[in-house]
Structures are given as structure tokens and as C-alpha cells.
Amino acid sequence: MKVKYLGQQSTPKLSSYSPDFLDSIPRNNQHLGKFFGLDYWNAYEFSYINSNNFPVIETLEIKISMHSALTVESKSLKLYLASFYNKKFNNPSRAYDLIAKDLSKLINSPVSVRKLTKFDTVPRSTAISKFKHKVPKNKLIHFKGFRSICPVTSQPDWANIYIHSTSTPIDSKKLVKFLKSYRDKDDFHESCTESIFIALLDDFAMEDLTVYGKFLRRGGIDINPIRSTSKKLLFKNFRDFGQ
């Protein structure tokens, strides 16, 4: 996979806004056609000039469908958003609309963008480690300290993984061992979440399943994939790292 900026030491000069900073990467999601989900991207470092000629800084929520054949590469998104720093918008919604338009064109799939003023409430859940033998069905559980490796930079990615299912009770030790097996696995956030989702369906015989990967931000952006057997998604965009 060839990318413009990820893993490169040098970065282009951010002199003015340009969609040319954006880079796409292909998904491997053909096996997920009958399932549902999306990716919440939170960009914490978006700045532009407002109608009073003052710089402002905002957090953006970007929603991308899991069924898009392409998605945006995160470092290119960081550079693209940074290129807005000297661009003036009398109406902030025009900035969000422009970003949505550029990203939708890049991945050939609808993308929504909005200013994020507060996150949704963190749902009540129980750590998998609290269950010595079996995790009861219809119980929202989480696994903190999840680790995987970026396949391009070899840098670690950290996350909290949330799992909900109405299936029969599952072996908690087996589940923890499975999630720990990702600690040296090279894959992107979306692919990790998807492979966990598929493995829980197939190897753990779980049904009515939702998996939510809440990843720690890097480069001012976090990526949070949801994959589910239900069209009505259980989770919203909450933040649980205390940042």
C-alpha cells in the first residue's frame, strides 16, 4: 500500500487550504456486506479565521460509513485540516460543508462533518476481568489496554474495546486471551475492530453482536469504528480516556 505522508519524515508546507493533501486507502470489507456500522473520527485541532478575523479552534466529528470502498488516511487528514488555519469563513457551516464535500469526493461515499461541542455519555459497562469464568449474556463489557501496531509506522495504537451481545454466556478467559493476541498485530483501527467482530461471530458463536473500538488519539485525531449485526447501532460518539 502506497501512501503520500504516513511514515514519511518530511511533511509539505501548509501555506494554504488544499484538498490535494488528502490521501485515501482501500478497505478490505467485502465480507461485511450484511452487517452495519460506521467510523467516528474526532479531529481536535481544526482552526480557521472567523468573520471577525479572529482565529478559532474547534473539534470536528466526521462520520464515515463502514461500507465505503475507500477511507481517508489519517495523517493526510491532519495535514488537510491544518491547511485551513488561514482561511476565512463568515459562516462556520461552510467550512464543515467544504470538508464533507472534499472527503466525500475522495472516498466516493457520503461523509458528514459537524462541530463537536460535547461527547455523548459514556455507557455503563463492566470490565471483562471482573468475570472469573463466564460473561453473562446481554451484558455490556469492556477491555481496556487493547494494543495493536500501525502497519506502516510500527507505532503502537491503544484502545478500549466495548462488546455487547445477547448470546449465551462466553468464556471470559478465552476472550481476554484473544484480545491480548492483538498486542503485536499489524493492522489499522478499522481492520482490528472488524476482525474482532468476525471472530466473535464465528469462533465464539456470538449473535446480535456489536463491537466498538475506542482508540486513543494520535496526531490530534482519533478513529472509533463500530461494527454490528443490528442496523440500530447501540453506541454513539462518547469519549472515555479522560481527555
The neighbour count for residue 1, using CB atoms within 10 Å, is 9
Residue 8 belongs to some domain of the structure:
no
Query: Can you list the residues of the chain whose pLDDT is less than 50?
Result: 242-243
* Same structural domain, 168 and 206: yes
List the one residue out of 185, 161, 175, 176 whose CA is nearest residue 206.
Answer: 175
* Same structural domain, 194 and 150: yes
* Same structural domain, 103 and 151: no
Residue 5 belongs to some domain of the structure:
no
Distance set, CA 95 to CA 54, 100, 104, 228 (Å): 15, 9, 14, 31
- Grouping H, G, I as helix, E, B as strand and the rest as coil, residue 6 is coil
Residue 228 belongs to some domain of the structure:
no
* Same structural domain, 106 and 150: no
Residues belonging to the active site: 150, 157
* Same structural domain, 56 and 89: yes
Q: How far apart are CA 188 and CA 204, in angstroms?
A: 23
Give the pLDDT of residue 243. 40
59, 83, 115 - which closes a domain:
115
Give the pLDDT of residue 21. 93
* Same structural domain, 135 and 77: no
Backbone φ and ψ of 99, nearest 5°: -65, -45
Residue 153 belongs to some domain of the structure:
yes
DSSP of 150-187? -TTT--EEEEEEEEEE-SS-EEHHHHHHHHHTTTT-B-
Give the pLDDT of residue 167. 82
* Same structural domain, 94 and 139: no
Distance set, CA 31 to CA 34, 35, 212 (Å): 8, 9, 18
CATH number at residue 53: 3.30.1130.10
Q: How far apart are CA 212 and CA 228, in angstroms?
A: 9
Average pLDDT over the chain, rounded to whole? 91
Q: What's the domain range around 200?
A: 126-219
* Same structural domain, 98 and 144: no
Give the pLDDT of residue 78. 95
Residue 90 belongs to some domain of the structure:
yes
* Same structural domain, 96 and 131: no
Residue 167 belongs to some domain of the structure:
yes
Q: What is the sign of the dihedral through the CA atoms of 195, 75, 83 and 18? A: negative
* Same structural domain, 88 and 135: no
Residue 1 belongs to some domain of the structure:
no
* Same structural domain, 134 and 213: yes
What b/e readout covers 184-220, taking b as 16+ CB neighbours within 10 angstroms? eeebbbbbbbbbbbbebbeebebeebbbbbbbebbeb
How many independent structural domains does the chain possess?
Answer: 2
In contact, 41 and 81? CB cutoff 8 Å: no
* Same structural domain, 61 and 134: no
Q: How far apart are CA 174 and CA 59, in angstroms?
A: 38
